[in-house]
Amino acid sequence: MLGIWIDILVLLVLLPPSSASNGSGHSLWLLSTYIQGETQFPEFSYTTTLDDITVGYYKSGTYFPRGNTTNEDDVVNSDYIRGISDYMYHSFLRRAALLRQDGQNDSLDVYQTLVVCEMLDLNNSGKMLTKDAARGCTTDEICYFNNTFTYKVILNISQDVLKPHLEEFKLKYMKFYQPVCISTLKYYLKKRQNEVNRKAAPKIRFVQKANSDSGGSPVSCLATGFYPRHINLTLFRDGQPVSDHEITGGDLLPNGDGTYQMRKSLEISADKHKYSCSVTHLSLDNKLIIELGNESSE
């Protein structure tokens, strides 16, 4: 059981953020998992995410909406789900046969596919990305943008599995997968517009802690409680941005209420420089600047 979750976590670490996550548009994510072997988990399951909102999951032949306040039976196409399941099943069988040639006879095998499509605005679609993984390692990826395909092989096994079927798959990509993904994204945007369009302003704290063992005195700027996730947080010294190599932190982390937080810290010595923290976010009309000594602001 632990191996399954290790596989899932490793894959998620390898996945890049969608460019639509920066506030320029919207994206639909579908992470599918196929498991071969005896386990308490379903053989085939997937999770659907609109931008950063989990809108539903599928297991044991049933789709379960999550957090919806309206009827979404018309959003998910059952034929599309069967198509995904069939594609994953046959791809997995081909991969599993090749994986067993490496001498490993694991009782469990996990195969995953991530599909992401983007919509830059109501009239323009962005890129569509598909990533496959087996045993926790990304095997290959396909990117489709402006009628152009980019195919990248991570593990040599992928060439044996997909390359002979690549042209056929590209055609399905253009004629079926990408249009259905975009239409599903549009449907979800209509159903979940209140969630997608909500804004929560960040609460800012810029504080200085006691001297550390190294003799310095760390300052930290924390922005928390904001939504959507995209935020610009910058530390300044005497009005000039502090270089990145001096700063620690900066990871975007989720809060339990669906909002986000980010913290950046800087080690300073006993000097007379002036430090400030600048924050820009969609919920703010203007750039918010907090000088050291002003502990909090909204």
**Judgement on whether residues 211 and 125 belong to the same structural domain of the protein:** no
pTM of the model: 0.72
**Judgement on whether residues 223 and 191 belong to the same structural domain of the protein:** no
**Judgement on whether residues 192 and 220 belong to the same structural domain of the protein:** no
CATH code of 183's domain: 3.30.500.10
Query: How many domains is the chain built from?
Result: 2
**Judgement on whether residues 10 and 105 belong to the same structural domain of the protein:** yes
Q: Which two tokens stand for residue 142?
A: 């396909």
**Judgement on whether residues 148 and 228 belong to the same structural domain of the protein:** no
Q: What is the pLDDT along the chain (298 residues), one digit of tens a residue?
A: 334 333 444 344 344 444 444 455 899 998 888 887 778 888 888 888 999 888 888 887 777 777 766 667 666 666 666 666 666 666 666 666 666 655 555 667 788 888 899 998 777 788 999 888 877 778 888 899 988 999 887 766 656 666 667 788 788 888 888 888 898 898 888 888 888 888 999 999 999 876 655 556 889 999 999 999 999 999 999 999 999 999 999 999 999 888 999 999 999 876 788 999 999 999 999 999 999 876 544 4
Eight-class DSSP state of 242: P
CATH code of 250's domain: 2.60.40.10
Tell me how far CA of residue 90 lies from CA of 36, 126, 158, 163, in angstroms: 12, 28, 14, 14
**Judgement on whether residues 79 and 58 belong to the same structural domain of the protein:** yes
Here the contacts of 89-95 (C-beta below 8 Å, separation 24 or greater) are 89/34, 89/44, 91/132, 91/161, 91/162, 92/34, 92/36, 92/134, 94/160, 94/161, 95/132, 95/134, 95/139, 95/157, 95/161
- Point out the domain boundary residue: 131, 165, 196: 196
**Judgement on whether residues 191 and 117 belong to the same structural domain of the protein:** yes
* Residue 230 structural domain: 203-297
